Structure 1
Amino acid sequence: MNFEIKSSDIVKQKTDCLVLSIWQGKTQSQQVQDFDQLTNNTIANLITAGDFSGKLGETLVLYNVANIAAKKVLLVGFGERKSNPIENVDKIAKSIANLLTLLNSKQLVISLAHLNKTNSYGFVKRFVETMTYHSYRFDEFQSTKAPVIKTENIQFSIVDKTLIAPAELGLKHGLAVANAVSATRTLANQPSNVCNAQFLADKAKELNQHFNTLKISYYDEKALAKLGMNAYLAVGQGSQNESIMTVIEYQGAKDKNAAPIVLVGKGLTFDSGGISIKPAAGMDEMKYDMCGAATVYGVMQAVAELNLPINVVGVMAGCENMPGTGAYRPGDILTTMSGKTVEVINTDAEGRLVLCDVLTFVERFKPEAVIDIATLTGACIVALGHHYTGVMGNHSQLVDQLLTASNQANDKAWQLPLDNDFQEQIKSTCADIMNSSGRDGGTITAACFLSHFTHNYHWAHLDIAGTAWVSGGKKGATGRPVAMLIQYLLEQSR
């Protein structure tokens, strides 16, 4: 869909469908009053008769409205007039998106008469993000496709011309986020017999073809071995698919040597658990264990699309954990790239083994900050459900910045503690540390493990095990926490 912003007389504008925002109650915007004056009080009569109330998210389609150039009119309830439109935008945009197939309209003109200086940027940004999210389809492997959404163009009509500039900035940022979330979801939704580490590398190559501001480099198993990334390599030993680390570099700062922000994404394209094999129920969802890498892919796409004036490095740590004849075992002791040794207690605690070597590798970039994104622990779902991404780190300002970005982007996150009391749980009797300490505080002890490899820079860890995908009848990737990370990077660009 193409989005644009214009200042126009909505009643005279020829379009397939005009979308009018209706407040709950009898007091309406001047645009709605003008509409009613031309149409013999159509909306006022509907409200008086109780056929439409303006309740948040309520919709009603009107056909062949007299004296209106549009072929049809969609009324959308915006809730109480005193409410903040930005707080309601998700429900409003979702209501419209869910009707797109029924409306069968190539062009929509959406009246945004309620905007003001404080909400024009945020409302338009979130509207585009939400509408695109709920219009998303993944039917690449289905012989019977979902009904086609015929909407090609959506025009936002804004009365006050002084609000167009901030609305256009909101549109620009919203489209970048929407495109990145869609790209992340599509990559994460791929089945594991299609998406392996090589596939991730190929996707980065495609991204480079669209954006020449990106530099791509690849590290196959031979290169990983040369670097001493033995923990990373151990995880993939049981798979026929080669482990490949893909690095995406973007230099947008005026000072090309400025310290970059580094994003590290766990890319387990399938996690069987290895020798410590997972139960069969729900194992199909372990194709989503690469959602951290998919997030990095989407965010780097947005960074390039927006030409942000900062330096950013994204790492997709591609790997597959299988119980093959060469698989690593519980009891093995691995020497990481840092030189620290790890006793393997559970081969299903594999993500931290991949990440620890990558977190050592990225020291070479002399980063301003490092953020890793990983579907790391089921314990995070126990702690925070499927609502909040868990955030931990060794630098309070970085953690605070991510939490602020999560609130601004409506991409919920919550900080969990990270202190030395938990470090005791991962001490080993025969190595420096062990990779699993049981259920108690599992999300935190996993972050404690990673913290051993992040002493030389500011670091934050995002555990997205509960937020990266949904299960059941609507199974699929969510694209979280792409919006949070893009908001964070936007703030660092100001």
Structure 2
Amino acid sequence: MEFLIKNDAIITKQKSECIVVSIDSGKNQSDLIKDLDQCTQGLVSQLIKSGDVSGELGKITFLYPFTNVLKQKIVFVGCGKAKEFDLIKSKKVIQAVTKELLSKQVKNITWDLLTFNPALSTDLAKQIPQIIGEMTYRFDVFKSQKAPTLHLSKVTLLCADRKLVEKITNNLLQGKIIADAITSTKTLADMPANICNAQYLAEQAMIYLDKTYPLLKVTCLGEKELAKLNMNAYLAVGRGSKNESIMTVIEYQGAKDKKAQPYVLVGKGLTFDSGGISIKPSAGMDEMKYDMCGAATVYGVMQAVAELKLPINVIGVMAGCENMPDGNAYRPGDILTTMSGTTVEIINTDAEGRLVLCDALTYVGRYNPKVVIDIATLTGACIVALGHHYTGVMGNNDSLVTQLVASSNKIGDKAWALPIDKDFQEQIKSTCADIVNAGGRDGGTITAACFLSRFTEKYQWAHLDIAGTAWKSGAKKGATGRPVAMLIQYLLDQKV
């Protein structure tokens, strides 16, 4: 889909198929409305006065061409009061308009939304492609009958302030890149586990990312390489599966100093999690294909980093693996020696993500990272704590945690900081090893982070628990692409 900015305040001069007009619920309408009213010989003002065109938030009125002067279709959308218009209300408006345009099979529009509340225009420009991208995403790869073709292909946004055109255009481009990255993440995450295993993750990185973006370098470490590195915890999780465990490393060098400390992202890539010997209940187990959403997030973010050509060094790690029960699977009661030398008593084989991550987090220490951020669908306890609204954020550096939360608020991809302190560390003590891999129900999200913290003491680290935000269940089951937007915004904020 194409997004453009046009510095023109006269909406009737536009040659697109359809004009989308924002309506204020108050008495004062914009100059654009007055221009349109004059063109229609007062009809628009009559429709507003009669209530047939409403300023109520999200209210849509669709008109087909009705004059010789104005030959475009017109969509009026209520935006409430301009002074009260914010990003939350704008999302409802954009969703309502997109739904209407898709139902009417409109291909090409011009919209005055950025002029409705100019103070919001720069932030809104970044949001529009993401919201429309979410509305137009389809995953029908395996359906015999494909979804109807989506016709909306070009969106031109009017900008009345010439001084803001460059900044708005840049934000719009960033928004489009973020939207594309989210789509890539969702497409990868929605793939079924019989297609998407660790090898598939590696192949997607090699075939698409490595060949498309010259600044990206992809390396894959199979089980032989992982064994040489003594990544025994990672390997133990995949022992019950016929599919090989593969860790895929994606390197990007955008900084002038190629030796500058990189920002490192580590994504949990459990392409299917049965729970292993501690097998999960059957209800909802189909959704365990989404246990690789952390790795899918890394994939999408690295794509965006290359598209944005960020002036920093970034490394993305997709820790691919599958947790299955068979005669060779690891067991409750086993003691594993991790890459760092720390020993772990296995209490529950369904607490496997932290075992894969702990070795991956030890591995990335070799890059002398500036910061390390892991992304994982790690604990159901995070859903209990934060629902499906907020990504949980924890870490060993308060400044890093604060920056991530600030970036999440800036881009509208909500996150919330949770405490991680010594009191919780007591819950992962073992009687026969250094630590256990599960600290019980109480504070389960935090004790999981405490486990990971034992392997991140040499660098600044943050942990994102996306168990509640990475996908939706039920009739609308599907990946959300979160927290791709938050992480891209965080990396954008590091450019200065």
Question: TM-score when scaled to structure 1?
Answer: 0.98
Other-structure match for 2:439: 437
Letter aligned with residue 241 of structure 1: N
2:487 aligned to which of 457, 480, 485: 485
Equivalent residues of 1:12, 1:68 under 8 A apart: no
Deviates more, 1:159-168 or 1:15-24: 159-168
Other-structure match for 2:21: 20
For the residues of structure 1 that align with 2:44 and 2:422, how far apart are their CA atoms?
63
| 1:115, distance to aligned residue in structure 2 (A) | 5.4
Q: Is residue 2:211 matched to residue 1:199?
A: no
| 1:71, distance to aligned residue in structure 2 (A) | 2.6
Equivalent residues of 1:391, 1:463 under 8 A apart: yes
Q: Is residue 2:4 matched to residue 1:4?
A: yes
Task: Provide the aligned length of Structure 1 versus Structure 2.
Answer: 494
1:322 aligned to which of 302, 321, 324: 324
| 1:81, distance to aligned residue in structure 2 (A) | 2.0
Q: After TM superposition, list the pairs within 5 Å mapping 1:241-256 onto structure 2.
A: 241-256=243-258
For the residues of structure 1 that align with 2:327 and 2:80, how far apart are their CA atoms?
61
For the residues of structure 1 that align with 2:107 and 2:372, how far apart are their CA atoms?
44
Q: Is residue 2:400 matched to residue 1:392?
A: no
Q: Is residue 2:457 matched to residue 1:455?
A: yes
1:269 aligned to which of 248, 260, 271: 271
For the residues of structure 1 that align with 2:71 and 2:132, how far apart are their CA atoms?
21
Other-structure match for 2:75: 74
For the residues of structure 1 that align with 2:29 and 2:278, how far apart are their CA atoms?
62
For the residues of structure 1 that align with 2:63 and 2:194, how far apart are their CA atoms?
48
Residues 274-300 of structure 1: per-residue CA shift (max 9 Å, x gap) = 000000000000000000000000000
| 1:85, distance to aligned residue in structure 2 (A) | 3.9
Letter aligned with residue 304 of structure 1: A
Relative to structure 1, the CA distance from residue 68 to residue 126 in structure 2 (aligned partners, 3 Å threshold; closer, same or farther) is farther
Other-structure match for 1:365: 367
Relative to structure 1, the CA distance from residue 68 to residue 345 in structure 2 (aligned partners, 3 Å threshold; closer, same or farther) is farther
Residues 93-150 of structure 1: per-residue CA shift (max 9 Å, x gap) = 1112212322212211112362566422211111111111111111111111222111
Equivalent residues of 1:11, 1:70 under 8 A apart: no
For the residues of structure 2 that align with 1:168 and 1:182, how far apart are their CA atoms?
21
Equivalent residues of 2:114, 2:121 under 8 A apart: no
For the residues of structure 1 that align with 2:6 and 2:20, how far apart are their CA atoms?
14
Residues 448-473 of structure 1: per-residue CA shift (max 9 Å, x gap) = 00000000000000000000000010
Other-structure match for 1:356: 358
For the residues of structure 1 that align with 2:296 and 2:322, how far apart are their CA atoms?
15
Q: After TM superposition, list the pairs within 5 Å mapping 1:246-325 onto structure 2.
A: 246-325=248-327
Other-structure match for 1:134: 135
1:379 aligned to which of 378, 381, 394: 381
Other-structure match for 1:147: 148
For the residues of structure 1 that align with 2:418 and 2:338, how far apart are their CA atoms?
26
Equivalent residues of 2:22, 2:116 under 8 A apart: no
Equivalent residues of 2:11, 2:35 under 8 A apart: no
Other-structure match for 2:47: 46
Q: Is residue 2:408 matched to residue 1:411?
A: no
Equivalent residues of 1:57, 1:91 under 8 A apart: yes
Deviates more, 1:467-476 or 1:57-66: 57-66
| 1:218, distance to aligned residue in structure 2 (A) | 0.6
For the residues of structure 1 that align with 2:225 and 2:141, how far apart are their CA atoms?
34
| 1:82, distance to aligned residue in structure 2 (A) | 1.5
Relative to structure 1, the CA distance from residue 430 to residue 68 in structure 2 (aligned partners, 3 Å threshold; closer, same or farther) is farther
Equivalent residues of 2:339, 2:359 under 8 A apart: yes
| 1:166, distance to aligned residue in structure 2 (A) | 1.4
For the residues of structure 1 that align with 2:116 and 2:319, how far apart are their CA atoms?
43
| 1:425, distance to aligned residue in structure 2 (A) | 0.5
**Structure 1: gaps (5+ residues):** none
Deviates more, 1:115-124 or 1:331-340: 115-124
Give secondary structure in 2 for the equivalent of 1:99: helix
For the residues of structure 1 that align with 2:129 and 2:145, how far apart are their CA atoms?
28
**What is the percent sequence identity of the aligned residues?**
61
Letter aligned with residue 131 of structure 2: T
Residues 390-435 of structure 1: per-residue CA shift (max 9 Å, x gap) = 0000000000000100100111111111001011110000000000
Relative to structure 1, the CA distance from residue 70 to residue 187 in structure 2 (aligned partners, 3 Å threshold; closer, same or farther) is farther
For the residues of structure 2 that align with 1:257 and 1:85, how far apart are their CA atoms?
42
Give secondary structure in 1 for the equivalent of 2:349: coil
Relative to structure 1, the CA distance from residue 162 to residue 432 in structure 2 (aligned partners, 3 Å threshold; closer, same or farther) is same
For the residues of structure 2 that align with 1:100 and 1:256, how far apart are their CA atoms?
47
Equivalent residues of 1:56, 1:92 under 8 A apart: yes
For the residues of structure 2 that align with 1:228 and 1:211, how far apart are their CA atoms?
32
| 1:265, distance to aligned residue in structure 2 (A) | 0.1
Give secondary structure in 2 for the equivalent of 1:98: helix
For the residues of structure 1 that align with 2:35 and 2:342, how far apart are their CA atoms?
72
| 1:234, distance to aligned residue in structure 2 (A) | 0.1
Equivalent residues of 1:25, 1:54 under 8 A apart: yes
Equivalent residues of 1:239, 1:322 under 8 A apart: yes
Deviates more, 1:128-137 or 1:447-456: 128-137
| 1:363, distance to aligned residue in structure 2 (A) | 0.3
For the residues of structure 1 that align with 2:437 and 2:131, how far apart are their CA atoms?
39
For the residues of structure 2 that align with 1:211 and 1:168, how far apart are their CA atoms?
23
For the residues of structure 2 that align with 1:325 and 1:370, how far apart are their CA atoms?
35
For the residues of structure 2 that align with 1:42 and 1:123, how far apart are their CA atoms?
30
Other-structure match for 1:232: 234
Give secondary structure in 2 for the equivalent of 1:119: helix
For the residues of structure 1 that align with 2:118 and 2:399, how far apart are their CA atoms?
30
Letter aligned with residue 493 of structure 1: K
For the residues of structure 2 that align with 1:324 and 1:100, how far apart are their CA atoms?
51
For the residues of structure 2 that align with 1:371 and 1:150, how far apart are their CA atoms?
38
Give secondary structure in 2 for the equivalent of 1:215: strand
For the residues of structure 1 that align with 2:239 and 2:101, how far apart are their CA atoms?
48
For the residues of structure 2 that align with 1:42 and 1:89, how far apart are their CA atoms?
26
Deviates more, 1:142-151 or 1:184-193: 142-151
Letter aligned with residue 219 of structure 2: S
Deviates more, 1:377-386 or 1:23-32: 23-32
| 1:480, distance to aligned residue in structure 2 (A) | 0.4
Residues 60-80 of structure 1: per-residue CA shift (max 9 Å, x gap) = 111123254443101111111
Give secondary structure in 2 for the equivalent of 1:376: coil
Relative to structure 1, the CA distance from residue 156 to residue 339 in structure 2 (aligned partners, 3 Å threshold; closer, same or farther) is same
Equivalent residues of 1:386, 1:466 under 8 A apart: yes
For the residues of structure 2 that align with 1:324 and 1:214, how far apart are their CA atoms?
37
Equivalent residues of 1:177, 1:483 under 8 A apart: yes
Letter aligned with residue 132 of structure 1: G
Equivalent residues of 1:116, 1:163 under 8 A apart: no
Q: Is residue 2:430 matched to residue 1:428?
A: yes
Letter aligned with residue 185 of structure 1: K
For the residues of structure 2 that align with 1:133 and 1:421, how far apart are their CA atoms?
41
For the residues of structure 1 that align with 2:245 and 2:412, how far apart are their CA atoms?
34
**Structure 2: gaps (5+ residues):** none
| 1:318, distance to aligned residue in structure 2 (A) | 0.1
